[in-house]
Amino acid sequence: MTDFYKMGDGHAPNILDQGTCGELNMRTVVLWSLICVHGFYAAAASASEAAPQTLDELEFMTGCWHGEGWLHRGPELEKFKSTELVEFKAGKTVLAITGKHTDSDTSALVHDAFAIVSRAAEGEDYRFKSFLATGQSGEYSAKLSDGAFVWELPIPNRGVMRYTIRVDGDEWQETGHYSPDGSQWHETFGMTLKRAKPGAECSR
């Protein structure tokens, strides 16, 4: 390989031994150092100005909730008892929801889920990410509509499920409606919960 940095005598030049060229090199180093320091503080200032958006408007959902619900699975009506723990994480930029349902008759665990709500990109309100004990997971769009928290779960080739959570004081009312075509809706899920008093143990 040809080395274009060697002089005719085969020796590399030492710019620090060449008077003004050496001084120019040192000035360049100092200048770049000042640019780097300025860039660091500019980036820090920019980061502080773009503070993350919190989810304070969803605080009405927080707390430990206990209650009962029902679910239509085909022609059968299944009843269950439910516990939901809803709490802010990461400086109120994330809302974490832990939910467990047990069979009303046998106390067997029938639903074990965890979800994360965060601010969505421009054009949407929230991202709703859910994870089930069965290994299933998904990410859906969610929004606040008339004071209620609403998200939809598309079912490929079958339609869509829409869930609505409305809180009145310390009562949580959640409904689930199924639509095969986006126009006709049928209620297939209902749940009523009561918020536990502050400091009460939230068994899960």
- pTM comes to 0.73
pLDDT of amino acid 17: 44
Q: For residue 32, what pLDDT band results from cuts at 50, 70 and 90?
A: low
3-class DSSP assignment, residue 8: coil
**Tokens, residue 41:** 């503080």
pLDDT of amino acid 202: 82
pLDDT of amino acid 180: 94
- pLDDT exceeds cutoff 80 at 20: no
Secondary structure string (H, E, C) spanning 22-88: HHHHHHHHHHHHHHHHHHHHHHHHHHHHCCCCCCHHHHHHCEEEEEEEEEEECCEEEEEEEEEEEEE
> Distance (Å, rounded) from C-alpha 95 to C-alpha 56?
10
- pLDDT exceeds cutoff 60 at 66: yes
pLDDT of amino acid 31: 53
- pLDDT exceeds cutoff 50 at 16: no
pLDDT of amino acid 143: 95
- For range 140-146, the mean pLDDT: 95
pLDDT tens-digit series, residues 103-113: 999 999 999 99
- For range 26-53, the mean pLDDT: 54
Cα-atom radius of gyration of the chain, to the nearest Å?
A: 30
- pLDDT exceeds cutoff 90 at 49: no
Nearest to 160 by CA among 190, 182, 133: 182
The amino acid present at 6, given as its one-letter code, is K
Percent of the chain scoring above 70 in pLDDT: 73
